Structure 1
Amino acid sequence: MALCKGKWIFQTLLGIYKENIQLSYFSTNQVLSSIYRNRLSSTQEKSELDALCSDDRPLEKKPMIPARSEVSTSFTYDPIVQKFINLLLKNGGKEKAREITEGALEHIKMKQIETYHKAKTEAEKAMVVTDPIKIIHGAVENCKPLVVQKSVTKGGTSYRIPVYCHDRRKLRLGINFIIDSCRTKRRRVPIQVLLAAEILQAYNNEGNAVAKKQQLHKECEAQRAFAHYRWK
């Protein structure tokens, strides 16, 4: 009983402390002006720096979240490729997923270089993109859906209504369309070759992945009569 009473007193005092004591008494104006005054004294005046920090609100303390283990400062690191690896892996086999993705990028590079050397004119060669990172970015961009379907129940009946797709979900769905198109095929060739071919087709706005996006858009178009249920 005494422990419970002591804990209640401690929580009450802690709440009073948080309400009456500011976590930081340095304003944004004071801190940023003192930081940038010495760095940018030759390019900006103090009045310009003060105008950028006109508010007198105290600094907000934000939690420091450490970077993920796969994040790197190397110029070869790409977040889209890393997301591709994460969605490709199964049962925690990240090394295997990384090998498959790197092998697919290598096949794309070799295929595009072969296409480049087969081009007859300089104009045709200029149209060939040999960077596999740009190709995978373009392929994912072509596979991103604009709208998706959401289940809403009204009057005891469930309706599939079209809703806007946010950026993070667009990226995830676009990559999943490419990966699922490779997994549904009969694999008589290595998965790296299938993945490279599917990425190249998606980059040219062709293939099963783009067809899945278009099919999703058609389904959303067919259910547009029930779109107003989203706001009711």
Structure 2
Amino acid sequence: MRKVKKKEKVYFPDPKFHEPLVTRFVNHLMKNGKKNIAYNIFYNAMDKIDIIKEKEEKSALEIWKEGLKNVMPHVEVRNRRIGGSNIQIPVPISSNNKITKAMKLLIASASTRNEKTMAHKLAYETWDAFHEQGEAVKRKENIHKMAEANKAFSHFRF
């Protein structure tokens, strides 16, 4: 084979929740190698979710995981040059890339919100994603709509 499969990266569990998925999220949240600040932002967001949940019996981490699952796209469109024109072809996403795209969508849409701190932005965006609303879910639905609109070209898969 020409392409060599990448080795799956192993993430160590985070200090508070002992969850490797949290470490992976914090790595995407981190800027300029400041991991402790990224951890503080995430943990403060989880504390804020604990405060804003009223009658919800789920923990903040379960709400975050559910919100992440609601933001996860299943297909994407990729450009391919066929017969002198560029065509967008819908392609299913691998499970590892689904998680990565969901994390990046959640972080990007949280950073555009109008709350004061990033922890508040992340908490409210996660809360909205848990309830299947908010900017991150809209972006996911846009990705799915693009794939649905170009479904006719799906036989050109890579």
TM-score > 0.5, shorter chain as reference? yes
Structure 1 counterpart of 2:66: 138
Q: Which amino acid aligns with 2:118?
A: I
SS of match in other structure, 2:46: helix
TM superposition shift of 1:179? 0.6
Name segments (4+ residues, structure 1) moved above 3 Å. 72-75
TM superposition shift of 1:73? 9.0
SS of match in other structure, 1:198: helix
Q: Please, which runs of 5 or more residues in structure 2 have no aligned partner?
A: 1-6
Structure 2 counterpart of 1:37: none
Structure 2 counterpart of 1:174: 102
8 Å CA contact 1:129–1:135 kept in 2: the answer is no
Q: Does 1:101 align with 2:29?
A: no
8 Å CA contact 1:109–1:130 kept in 2: the answer is no
SS of match in other structure, 2:12: coil
Structure 1 counterpart of 2:124: 197
Separation (CA, whole Å) in 2 of partners of 1:142 and 1:211: 11
Change over 3 Å in CA distance of 1:73–1:191 after alignment to 2: closer
Deviations 1:131-162 (A, max 9, x none): 11101110010011110111111122221110
SS of match in other structure, 1:76: coil
Separation (CA, whole Å) in 2 of partners of 1:203 and 1:178: 11
SS of match in other structure, 1:151: strand
TM superposition shift of 1:91? 1.3
More helix by share: 1
Q: Please, which runs of 5 or more residues in structure 1 have no aligned partner?
A: 1-64, 117-127
Deviations 1:104-124 (A, max 9, x none): 001011222xx13xxxxxxxx
Structure 2 counterpart of 1:156: 84
Aligned residues: 151
8 Å CA contact 2:13–2:20 kept in 1: the answer is no
Computing the radius of gyration over CA atoms, which structure comes out larger, 1 or 2? 1
Change over 3 Å in CA distance of 1:153–1:201 after alignment to 2: same
Change over 3 Å in CA distance of 1:76–1:219 after alignment to 2: same
Structure 2 counterpart of 1:212: 139
TM superposition shift of 1:74? 7.1
Q: Which of 147, 153, 157 does residue 226 from structure 1 map onto? A: 153
Deviations 1:77-120 (A, max 9, x none): 112211110110111111111110011001011222xx13xxxx
Aligned residues: CA RMSD: 2.2
Q: Percent identity?
A: 28
Change over 3 Å in CA distance of 1:197–1:74 after alignment to 2: closer
